[in-house]
Every structure is written in structure tokens, then in C-alpha cells.
Amino acid sequence: MQVAPAEIEAHLLTHPSVADCAVIPVPHDSAGEVPKAFVVKSATVCSETNEASIKRDIQKHVEEHKSRHKWLSGGVEFIDVIPKSPSGKILRRLLRDKERERRTKERARM
């Protein structure tokens, strides 16, 4: 990923459905790595709202304001809390490990 995750995170935080977020690079067959966002939904999001439509809306928000290589091609995943250090720094390593574990499990099922 040739873009700093903080740039995409700052833009995502301007979306009304996003309370907190973190962006990590994930492997991609043709592009090498693409951005994936982990998002904590804001309290204003209705629980009955379809998660797929919120994800698409968040992706569209990025696509309308950022160049193609910064789009969330790796997807959007909702989580309860973004892991942070006591000083408030996002612990992307934990998210990368979680994503690597999920991809390993998916490959094992195939």
C-alpha cells in the first residue's frame, strides 16, 4: 500500500457512521496490497440499518474523495473497539494478525 493509513483514517472519520477506525494493508493478487478498514460504528447508526449498505456507503465516501489506489478494495469490517496502546496509538499489528488468521482459516476451508 503506497498510502499512509492515517490519511484514509482521517477521511473515514469525517463519515457520520464512523466513530473510530483503523486501516491496514491486506494482500491482493494483482495489486500486491490494498487498504482494508476496520470501523467502529457511531452511536447515531440505527441498529436496524443493513450493515452491507453502511459498508457500501463508507466505501463510496472514500471513492468520491480519494484516488483509486486509496479505495478500500480490501473491504470494510465492523468491530467493537479499535485496539490502542495506553498512549492512544492504534495497534495495527493486532489487526494485521487478526486478518492473517481469518485468511488462513478461509484457505483451510477450501
Bridge-based pairing of strands 76-78 and 32-41 is: parallel
Contact 90, 50 (CB under 8 A): no
The C-alpha cell at 48 is: 436496524
19 exposed, middle or buried (CB, 10 Å; 0-12, 13-18, 19+)? middle
Segment 92-103 mean pLDDT: 94
- Domains of the chain are 5-109 (3.30.300.30)
pTM of this structure: 0.90
Residue with grid cell 471513492, as numbered in its chain = 63
Q: Which of 68, 9, 66, 11 is nearest to 37 (CA)?
A: 9
Task: Choose between 43 and 71: higher pLDDT.
Answer: 71
Which pLDDT tens digit goes with each residue over 47-81?
667 889 999 999 999 999 999 999 999 999 999 99
Sheet holding 76-78, edge to edge: 18-28, 32-41, 76-78
Residue type, 45: V
